[in-house]
Amino acid sequence: MSSSASALPPVALITGASRGIGAAAARAFAQAGYQLLLLARSEQDLEQLAQELRSDSCRVETISVDLSNPQAIAPALENLLARGLVPTVLINNAGAAYTGSLAEMPLEQWQWLLQLNLTSVVQTCQAVLPSLRQTSGLIINVSSHAARNAFPEWGAYCTTKAALASFSRCLAEEERQHGIRVSTLTLGAVNTPLWDSETVHSSFDRRAMLTPERVAETLLSLAQQPSSNVVEDITLMPAAGVL
């Protein structure tokens, strides 16, 4: 990173920023002195969060985009990146889940989940990489312990997260020459609105889950690692174990 770039405030681009882990991360990074580029589907929720976080020391730019629409992603990110903030860290946090048997899962639901949890991450990285190369930036992909385990009725989710972990490792190898580091944050169950989704049916005790704020602290810790090293993968689980 050049001395002029290092003198500027760090900038975090966070997807799925309007609620849950994304919103908690936005708050944590703002408090730590980051400028913010926030992306989510809900324009109203994004703007409400932005108004909460904007200050003389914290610039916040937002854009609303549905990551399940592959045609919408590149134009939205081009718009966001054209506003003058150059990201130093990209947090691919947005995602979804689906519970149901693999044998009976409708193809459109499979493609929807694959787009949200994997392909949109690929598209986001492709759009942001030119900017990150300017800052020797960091990419953090938020994954799940489902990437390493098999859970009945969660097969599609497990598959997308396993593919995301592999993508992260491959991207790290390709981008190392450009000074870009890639980390994966592997999470156990987190108490977020994901569990209220129409596509998720579960009866886990959410009181034993990780909090979004605890996850945000870990994301910030990863982002603040010196550029001379990288934490390739860190696993954060509830003390109660797999729920």
Catalytic residue numbers?
A: 157
Helices assigned H by DSSP within 87-227: 107-114, 120-135, 155-175, 212-223
The sign of the dihedral angle between the CA atoms of 180, 115, 190, 127 is positive
Which of these, 53, 71, 78, lies nearest to 120 by C-alpha position?
Answer: 71
Residue 42 backbone dihedrals phi, psi, to 5 degrees: -85, 105
Helices assigned H by DSSP within 106-153: 107-114, 120-135
Contact 23, 46 (CB under 8 A): no
Query: Token digits for 210?
Result: 């990780």
Angle between helices 155-175 and 107-114 in degrees, nearest 10: 30
Contact 108, 153 (CB under 8 A): no
d(CA 101, CA 152): 7
74 CB-contact burial (10 Å; exposed 0-12 / middle 13-18 / buried 19+)? middle
d(CA 198, CA 204): 16
